[in-house]
């Protein structure tokens, strides 16, 4: 027997869980990002009555996860490194360049261009305006091109 | 070089694979008292098994259960009493760490409360136990965990950085005010650094450095995570198994020679610990 509260939360989880994980992994790396996502969703369940009434529950829980990870992280973010033999088409310097981006730019670029979310979806989970996210994406791409010496648009 | 946008898109499968791999994190599962089997099961399986289903008062869906288990894995309570000297060898650590008198007794005198009673009150949603990790600083906390954790396969390794030091408890433990099997309550009012982000209410068991009947130091410890209708009872090392763990090599991490990288998944290859 599952009550309506639980059903509502489950539906919410189905719609945002992976996106929340992607956003927090982009911000903090895989291990800390996933821990933060688990913490955020657990918090979401515990406070669902309040959070479900919010305009943007996903964005709120991203902040919950972000705060959780921020208090614990004492090292720079390190994204997974592909083996060159497995993915030779990926520029070896790309992960380093992404790691070194300012966090907001890295998260924006990864959500939109790596994980393939629309600007609206990415802005929603981050709890920011679409225009703000677009600015982060543009600046992030510009920084990456500069770092990697890429000139094409 | 392919276009940057194409490269970014091509990066996704690798990150997703890393996420999926992290979700299926593994640890060694051995029945109490048995010799290590080296069998690998998902970490969440162990936690799931340890859930006391009789204490669940409200219907909890599989999704919620999975989330709470994941959060428990991410926020495991481990309280340690061992202080690792920055430049200390394992031997120095053993020599320098104060051992409360009770801990030096034979492991046959097991503290009465080595598991969390099933009658532990179910916490309200606001009374969620979160993680602490007691140690003097980050570096030491990592090393201390490797020493404290007889299995050393617990979600620790790369995630150690997410655990928060809880100095008052660590200090109390170092003073010998905390004993294995004793109960200590931490309230939401606890002013300790790192506590502000959490609501600290719960009943915890503490790790304790002790010497077993063979004269070998081992580190039995236990913890409990209580969350919204679920009691996730996590037992990491049992004083009763101290001798067995030491005998099998699993508990004797202080001579395992792996202190340089405590994030190594010690438990995944028990044979390496026997040297």
- Residue B148, SS3 per DSSP: helix
| A91 and A70 in a common domain | no
Q: Smallest CA–CA separation between B73 and chain A, in Å? A: 8
| A68 and A1 in a common domain | yes
| A100 and A58 in a common domain | no
Residue A3 resides in a domain: yes
The yes-or-no verdict on residue A139 having pLDDT over 90 is yes
Q: A126 CB contacts (<8 Å, ≥6 apart)?
A: A23, A59, A62, A107, A108, A111, A133
Task: Dump pLDDT digits (tens) for B18-56.
Answer: 888 777 643 322 233 333 333 333 333 443 444 344 433
What proportions of chain B, in percent to the nearest 5, are helix, strand and coil? 35, 10, 55
Last residue of a domain, one of A74, A96, A130: A74
| A62 and A8 in a common domain | yes
The yes-or-no verdict on residue B81 having pLDDT over 70 is no
| A70 and A3 in a common domain | yes
| A140 and A91 in a common domain | yes
Q: Smallest CA–CA separation between B106 and chain A, in Å? A: 37
Residue A79 resides in a domain: no
Q: Taking a C-beta distance cutoff of 8 angstroms, is the pair B257, B142 a contact?
A: no
Sign of torsion over alpha carbons B203, B208, B212, B218? positive
- Residues from chain A that touch B126, judged by Cβ atoms under 8 A, are 46
Last residue of a domain, one of A23, A44, A74: A74
Is the CB of A114 less than 8 angstroms away from the CB of B15? yes
**pLDDT for the residue numbered B63:** 61
The yes-or-no verdict on residue A85 having pLDDT over 90 is no
Task: Dump pLDDT digits (tens) for B223-275.
Answer: 333 333 222 223 333 333 333 333 333 222 222 222 222 222 222 222 322 22
**pLDDT for the residue numbered A22:** 95
The domain in which residue A46 lies consists of 1-74
The CA distance from B88 to B96, in Å, is: 9
Residue A137 resides in a domain: yes
| A105 and A64 in a common domain | no
- Residues from chain A that touch B63, judged by Cβ atoms under 8 A, are 6, 9-10, 13-14
Give the count of domains, chain A: 2
| A111 and A68 in a common domain | no
The model carries a pTM of 0.49
Residue A45 resides in a domain: yes
Last residue of a domain, one of A52, A74, A96: A74
Sign of torsion over alpha carbons B133, B138, B141, B142? positive
Residue A153 resides in a domain: yes
Q: How far is CA A111 from CA A95, A134, B77, B79, B137, in A?
A: 15, 11, 32, 37, 34
Q: What is the number of residues in chain A?
A: 153
More confident residue, B82 or B147: B147
| A61 and A18 in a common domain | yes
Task: Dump pLDDT digits (tens) for B142-199.
Answer: 333 333 333 322 222 222 222 232 333 333 333 433 333 333 333 333 333 333 323 3
Closest A-chain CA to B193: A71
Residue A82 resides in a domain: no
- Residue A113, SS3 per DSSP: helix
- Residues from chain A that touch B60, judged by Cβ atoms under 8 A, are 6
More confident residue, B230 or A98: A98
| A45 and A15 in a common domain | yes
The CA distance from B119 to B52, in Å, is: 10
Q: How far is CA B169 from CA B127, B129, B133, B135, B200, in A?
A: 19, 15, 9, 9, 12
What confidence tier does A123 reach under pLDDT thresholds 50, 70, 90?
very high
- In sequence order, the β-bridge partners of residue B26 are B42
Nearest to B74 among A6, A35, A144 (CB): A35
Residues belonging to chain B with any Cβ–Cβ distance to chain A shorter than 8 Å: 1-5, 7-12, 14-15, 17-19, 22-23, 59-61, 63-64, 67-68, 70-71, 73-75, 125-126, 128, 138, 158-159, 161-164, 194, 197, 227-228
């Amino acid at each position: 027997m599952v009550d309506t509260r639980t059903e509502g939360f489950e539906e919410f989880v189905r719609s945002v869980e992976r996106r929340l994980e992607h956003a927090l992994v982009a911000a903090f790396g895989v291990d800390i990002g996933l821990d933060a996502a688990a913490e955020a969703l657990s918090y979401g369940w515990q406070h669902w009555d309040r959070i479900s009434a919010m305009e943007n529950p996903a964005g709120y829980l991203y902040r919950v996860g972000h705060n959780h990870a921020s208090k614990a992280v004492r090292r720079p973010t390190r994204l997974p490194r592909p083996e060159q033999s497995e993915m030779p088409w990926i520029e070896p310097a790309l992960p380093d360049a992404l790691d070194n981006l300012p966090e907001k730019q890295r998260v924006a670029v990864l959500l939109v261009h790596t994980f393939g979310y629309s600007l609206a979806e990415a802005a929603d989970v981050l709890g920011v305006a679409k225009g703000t996210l677009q600015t982060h994406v543009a600046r992030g791409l510009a920084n990456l091109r500069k770092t990697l010496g890429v000139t094409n648009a | 070089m392919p276009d940057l946008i194409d490269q970014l898109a091509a990066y996704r499968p690798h990150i997703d694979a890393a996420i999926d791999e992290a979700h299926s994190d593994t640890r060694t599962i051995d029945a109490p008292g048995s010799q290590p089997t080296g069998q690998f099961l998902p970490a969440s399986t162990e936690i799931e098994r340890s859930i006391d289903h009789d204490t669940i008062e409200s219907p909890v869906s599989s999704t919620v259960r999975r989330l709470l288990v994941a959060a428990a894995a991410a926020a495991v309570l481990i309280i340690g009493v061992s202080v690792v000297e920055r430049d200390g060898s394992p031997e120095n650590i053993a020599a320098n760490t104060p051992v409360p008198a009770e801990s030096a007794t034979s492991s046959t005198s097991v503290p009465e409360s080595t598991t969390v009673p099933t009658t532990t009150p179910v916490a309200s949603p606001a009374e969620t136990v979160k993680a602490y990790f007691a140690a003097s600083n980050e570096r030491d906390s990592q090393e201390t965990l490797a020493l404290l954790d007889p299995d050393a396969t617990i979600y620790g390794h790369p995630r150690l950085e997410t655990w928060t030091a809880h100095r008052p408890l660590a200090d109390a433990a170092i003073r010998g005010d905390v004993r294995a099997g004793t109960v200590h309550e931490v309230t939401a009012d606890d002013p300790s650094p790192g506590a502000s982000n959490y609501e600290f209410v719960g009943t915890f068991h503490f790790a304790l450095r002790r010497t077993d009947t063979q004269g070998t130091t081992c580190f039995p410890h236990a913890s409990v995570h209580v969350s919204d209708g679920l009691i996730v009872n996590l037992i990491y090392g049992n004083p009763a198994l101290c001798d067995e763990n030491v005998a099998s090599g699993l508990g004797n991490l202080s001579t395992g020679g792996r202190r340089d990288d405590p994030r190594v998944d010690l438990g995944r290859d028990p044979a390496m610990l026997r040297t």
